């Protein structure tokens, strides 16, 4: 294989073409309601390796497997505990991922050798149609280079992965805009392992209150929670809006509702004038990207209310703030 070879990356709505790529063991970016994914046949280790290579993703970070229906989940897990069945009934298809004990048919590369597999049914019509037409599930992490901001439009994927993947199935802007909520089990009880597009309160409303166990170390059980993640190139300061010592023309702002006087308006990303956390979640990653393209020195991000989708937004901003190197 030629190492310098850059493949041509196309963007389109051709499900048949996406299907043929995936069936021949290739990779393809797909839209979901949360963020775009970079997909391959989850049962084909060689195809899955291409995902890791295109993303530059370490092999210890396992992938989510996407299926078209709750019935199909049973094909890949040894058991569906009661709490998982309840959550599936309420939130699937949707921004929920269940972490359950896997059957052997799921290759080790997908789960990084872990005994569990993460499963999700995306609620995007194009991708659901694609999944229904395939006779295998799709492993798909977010379609961004490892560590960078997740993509919420086909153009975002193109901006980062052009030349490395053959096709981006264009399903428009993601309606949720933040990754799925991951629920797994610890000590026989359900636990929330990643905050995401379904709020903790909504999960609790169905299965009762459970713990939120967010790990952030360099080798966590749930590596989507790596401390340095979702990071823009510019330095991001979270939860302090003290601009002393900074040139105000070189500051970017991520704010929930309000405008900051004295800072150029084109450097301000105000995520919801009406204070709607769903709207703010939908815009958070594209706001980070927009500021990343500006000639600024630093991004200041407010802390959002610690409730509902605000928790997931704060989680992403906190992680984005811990890595300030240029990727």
Taking the complex as a whole, how short is the minimal distance between the CB of residue 99 and Mg ion, in angstroms? Answer: 15
Return all residues near 260 (Cβ < 8 A) that are at least 6 apart: 241, 253, 268
Residue 286 near which of ligand TXA, Mg ion, none (CB within 5-8 Å, type-dependent): none
Taking the complex as a whole, how short is the minimal distance between the CB of residue 53 and Mg ion, in angstroms? Answer: 16
Do residues 147 and 327 make contact, with C-beta atoms less than 8 angstroms apart? yes
Closer Cβ to Mg ion, 38 or 237, answer by number: 38
Q: CA gyration radius for the chain?
A: 19
| Contact track, ligand TXA, 17-56, x by CB under 6 A | ---------------x-xx-x-------------------
Residue 99 near which of ligand TXA, Mg ion, none (CB within 5-8 Å, type-dependent): ligand TXA
Residue 15 tokens, joined? 């499900």
Closer Cβ to ligand TXA, 194 or 267, answer by number: 194
Taking the complex as a whole, how short is the minimal distance between the CB of residue 274 and ligand TXA, in angstroms? Answer: 25
| 62 contacts ligand TXA (rule: CB under 6 A) | yes
Do residues 176 and 197 make contact, with C-beta atoms less than 8 angstroms apart? yes
Closer Cβ to Mg ion, 145 or 166, answer by number: 145
Among 32, 116, 127, 142, binds Mg ion (CB under 5 A): 142
203 in helix, strand or coil?
A: helix
| 117 contacts ligand TXA (rule: CB under 6 A) | yes
| 67 contacts ligand TXA (rule: CB under 6 A) | no
Residue 285 tokens, joined? 């990653």
| 223 contacts ligand TXA (rule: CB under 6 A) | yes
Instruction: Give Cα separations from 294 to 70, 234, 268, 283 (angstroms).
Output: 43, 9, 11, 17
| 99 contacts ligand TXA (rule: CB under 6 A) | yes
How many whole angstroms separate alpha carbon 290 and alpha carbon 301?
14
| Contact track, ligand TXA, 140-169, x by CB under 6 A | xxx---------------------------
Closer Cβ to Mg ion, 51 or 77, answer by number: 51
Do residues 236 and 301 make contact, with C-beta atoms less than 8 angstroms apart? yes
Closer Cβ to ligand TXA, 93 or 224, answer by number: 224
Residue 251 pairs in a beta bridge with 298
Q: What are phi and psi of 113, to 5 degrees?
A: 80, 0
| 32 contacts Mg ion (rule: CB under 5 A) | no
DSSP 118: E
Other CB atoms within 10 A of residue 306 CB: 9
Q: What are phi and psi of 238, to 5 degrees?
A: -110, 135
Residue 123 near which of ligand TXA, Mg ion, none (CB within 5-8 Å, type-dependent): none
DSSP 167-178: EEE---S-SS-S
| 182 contacts ligand TXA (rule: CB under 6 A) | yes
Closest CA relative to residue 145, chosen from 171, 119, 163: 163
Binding positions for ligand TXA, rule: CB under 6 A: 32, 34-35, 37, 61-64, 95, 97, 99, 111, 114, 116-118, 120, 122, 140-142, 179-180, 182, 222-224
Contact footprint for Mg ion (CB under 5 A)? 142
């Amino acid at each position: 294989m030629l190492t310098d070879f850059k493949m041509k990356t196309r963007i389109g709505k051709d499900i048949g073409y996406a299907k043929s790529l995936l069936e021949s063991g290739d990779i393809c970016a797909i839209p979901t309601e949360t963020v775009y994914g970079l997909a391959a046949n989850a049962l084909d280790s060689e195809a899955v390796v291409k995902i890791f290579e295109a993303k530059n993703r370490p092999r210890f970070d396992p992938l989510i497997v996407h299926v078209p229906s709750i019935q199909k989940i049973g094909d890949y897990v040894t058991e569906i505990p009661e709490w998982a069945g309840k959550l599936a009934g309420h939130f699937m298809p949707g921004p929920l991922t269940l972490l359950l004990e896997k059957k052997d048919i799921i290759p080790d590369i997908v789960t990084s050798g872990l005994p569990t597999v993460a499963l999700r049914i995306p609620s995007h019509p194009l991708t659901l149609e694609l999944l229904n037409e395939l006779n295998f599930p799709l492993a798909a992490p977010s379609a961004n280079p490892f560590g960078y901001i997740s993509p919420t439009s086909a153009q975002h994927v193109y901006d980062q992965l052009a030349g490395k993947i053959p096709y981006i199935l264009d399903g428009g802007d993601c309606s949720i805009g933040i990754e799925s909520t991951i629920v797994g089990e610890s000590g026989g009880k359900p636990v929330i392992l990643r905050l995401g597009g379904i709020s903790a309160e909504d999960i609790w409303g169905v299965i009762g209150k459970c713990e939120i166990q967010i790990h952030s170390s360099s080798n966590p059980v749930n590596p989507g929670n790596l401390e340095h993640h979702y990071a823009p190139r510019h330095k991001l300061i979270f939860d302090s809006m003290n601009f002393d010592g900074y040139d105000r023309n070189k500051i970017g702002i991520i704010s929930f509702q309000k405008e900051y006087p004295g800072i150029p308006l084109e450097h301000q990303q105000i995520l919801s004038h009406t204070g709607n956390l769903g709207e703010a979640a939908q815009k958070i990653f594209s706001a980070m990207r927009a500021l990343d393209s500006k000639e600024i020195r630093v991004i200041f991000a407010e802390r959002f209310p610690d409730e509902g989708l605000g928790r997931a937004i704060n989680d992403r901003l906190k992680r984005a703030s811990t890595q300030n190197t240029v990727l």
